[in-house]
């Protein structure tokens, strides 16, 4: 790594004075994580001293500026050899965490909220160590959520912990931590979760069942027809729906909330009807997380569906029914916005089990006699 050169320079200001500043080359990263070449010292000297007092002032200020320059050179050298001084250890880790979430998907904001509650709103970089990070791991596995009062699922806790580990790696690479703490925090093992979905007949049954909250019904069925997550449907606006390139229908063009991936989906007539009359703003105004739990459960019970279906199950329904209808895994993977086709392959396994079950639908009404040979 090239050593940054620190030079004391000045620039003219008012009243026959010059302002002193430090010039860095190559540029350095500031506390706000921006690259910069200049650092104002808030010190001035007289360009043409007119008396002994002004001359003495210049000598004292230049000596002071040179001390600051030497200190900064020493600080940069220590930085390059991974020395983390008290100034960095006393920085606000929570503020750093909060600012970092702005560059990542919304899930990072959720992790920040959990860590904020875990740390009771106060955490410096110097407070981070193996013990505190390990306690946060256990916190994710034990703390009840505000929304449901139940613990996070093991897989959600594992995802949140992985995000936190990634944050620690970023902080270490930026030389804000003395050591990379992420490897020392034990991972949370993902559990093989059961994928719940609606069959074609159950979907039709649900579509014909009245729901007390129209926006819940429309958004749920829309998810079944498009495979979109709740996070994307709840933020869907009319600007996201536009005529398709071939002029034969309409497409949905969005950047997914979770992966920030650009996605274009053709919308069928049924999906368009669920959106209602075109307007301004949100397509499904009034859709809220609170109604996607208890009220959704009531609607499913009214339809006679006893499976443990959540709003996310409608995304699974889309994938399974598409593959069962003959769509390729690659096509479905693109429509779901998966980064890797491997994420979509589990739906193919489900379809195989469905096929095995449907074989039983065709049977001969005779008992097979293994001793009778075909003639």
Taking the C-alpha atoms of residue 129 and residue 135, their distance in angstroms, rounded to an integer, is 10
In this structure, what token pair is assigned to residue 351?
Answer: 């379809």
Q: Is 129 helix (H, G, I), strand (E, B) or coil?
A: coil
pLDDT number for residue 62: 94
Sign, Cα dihedral of 235, 256, 161, 174: negative
The answer to whether residue 371 scores a pLDDT higher than 50 is: no
pLDDT number for residue 73: 84
**Which range, of 69-83, 98-112, 278-292, 296-310, averages the lowest pLDDT?**
69-83
**Average model confidence (pLDDT) for the chain?**
85
Q: How confident is the model at residue 33 (pLDDT cuts 50, 70, 90)?
A: low
Q: Average pLDDT for residues 299-316, to the nearest whole number?
A: 94
pLDDT number for residue 369: 46
Q: Average pLDDT for residues 221-241, to the nearest whole number?
A: 93
pLDDT number for residue 365: 56
> Which range, 87-91, 150-154, 254-258, 279-283, is most confident?
279-283
Sign, Cα dihedral of 71, 77, 78, 82: positive
Q: How confident is the model at residue 370 (pLDDT cuts 50, 70, 90)?
A: very low
Predicted confidence (pLDDT) per residue in 317-335, tens digit? 999 999 888 888 888 888 8
pLDDT number for residue 77: 72
Strand partners, 25: 5
pLDDT number for residue 179: 77
Q: Average pLDDT for residues 92-101, to the nearest whole number?
A: 93
Collect all residues with Cβ–Cβ distance below 8 Å to 255 and sequence separation of at least 6: 261, 262, 263
Taking the C-alpha atoms of residue 290 and residue 147, their distance in angstroms, rounded to an integer, is 8
Predicted structure pTM score: 0.57
Q: Average pLDDT for residues 124-137, to the nearest whole number?
A: 89
What are the contacts of 109-117 at 24+ separation with CB within 8 A? Answer: 110/160, 111/160, 111/163, 111/164, 111/167, 114/139, 114/140, 114/143, 114/160, 115/164, 117/143
In this structure, what token pair is assigned to residue 225?
Answer: 């027809």
- Torsion (CA) 140, 141, 143, 148 in degrees, nearest 10: 100
The answer to whether residue 3 scores a pLDDT higher than 80 is: no
Q: What percent of the chain has pLDDT over 70?
A: 88
Q: Is residue 34 a contact partner of residue 21, using CB atoms and an 8 Å limit?
A: no
pLDDT number for residue 368: 46
Sign, Cα dihedral of 112, 118, 119, 124: negative
Q: Average pLDDT for residues 304-319, to the nearest whole number?
A: 93
Neighbours of 258 (CB within 10 A): 12
Q: Is residue 321 a contact partner of residue 203, using CB atoms and an 8 Å limit?
A: yes
The answer to whether residue 31 scores a pLDDT higher than 80 is: no
């Amino acid at each position: 790594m090239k050593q940054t050169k620190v030079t004391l320079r000045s620039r003219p200001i008012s009243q026959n004075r010059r302002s002193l500043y430090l010039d860095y080359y190559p540029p350095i990263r500031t506390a706000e994580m921006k690259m910069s070449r200049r650092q104002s010292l808030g010190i001035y000297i007289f360009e043409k001293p007119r008396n002994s007092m002004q001359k003495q002032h210049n000598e004292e200020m230049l000596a002071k500026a040179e001390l600051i320059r030497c200190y900064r050179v020493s600080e940069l050298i220590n930085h390059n050899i991974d020395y983390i001084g008290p100034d960095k250890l006393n920085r606000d880790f929570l503020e750093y965490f909060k600012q970092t979430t702005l560059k990542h998907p919304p899930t990072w904001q959720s992790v920040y909220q959990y860590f904020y509650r875990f740390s009771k709103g106060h955490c410096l970089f110097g407070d981070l160590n193996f013990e505190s990070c390990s306690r946060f791991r256990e916190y994710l596995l034990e703390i009840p959520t505000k929304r449901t009062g139940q613990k996070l699922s093991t897989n959600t806790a594992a995802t949140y912990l992985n995000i936190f580990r990634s944050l620690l790696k970023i902080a270490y690479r930026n030389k804000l931590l003395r050591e990379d703490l992420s490897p020392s925090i034990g991972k949370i093992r993902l559990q093989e979760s059961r994928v719940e979905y609606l069959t074609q007949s159950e979907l039709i049954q649900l579509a014909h069942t009245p729901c007390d909250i129209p926006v819940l019904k429309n958004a749920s069925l829309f998810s079944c027809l498009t495979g979109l997550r709740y996070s994307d449907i709840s933020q869907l606006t009319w600007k996201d729906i536009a005529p398709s390139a071939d002029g034969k229908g309409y497409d949905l063009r969005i950047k997914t909330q979770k992966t920030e991936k650009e996605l274009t989906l053709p919308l069928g007539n049924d999906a368009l009807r669920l959106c209602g009359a075109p307007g301004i703003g949100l397509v499904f105004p009034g859709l809220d997380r609170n109604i996607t739990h208890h009220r959704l459960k009531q609607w499913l019970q009214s339809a006679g569906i006893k499976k443990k279906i959540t709003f996310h199950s409608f995304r699974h329904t889309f994938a399974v029914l598409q593959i069962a209808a003959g769509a390729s895994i690659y096509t479905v993977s693109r429509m779901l916005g998966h980064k890797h086709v491997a994420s979509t392959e589990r739906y193919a396994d489900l379809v195989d089990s469905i096929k095995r079950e449907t074989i039983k639908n065709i049977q001969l009404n005779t008992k097979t006699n293994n001793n009778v040979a075909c003639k």
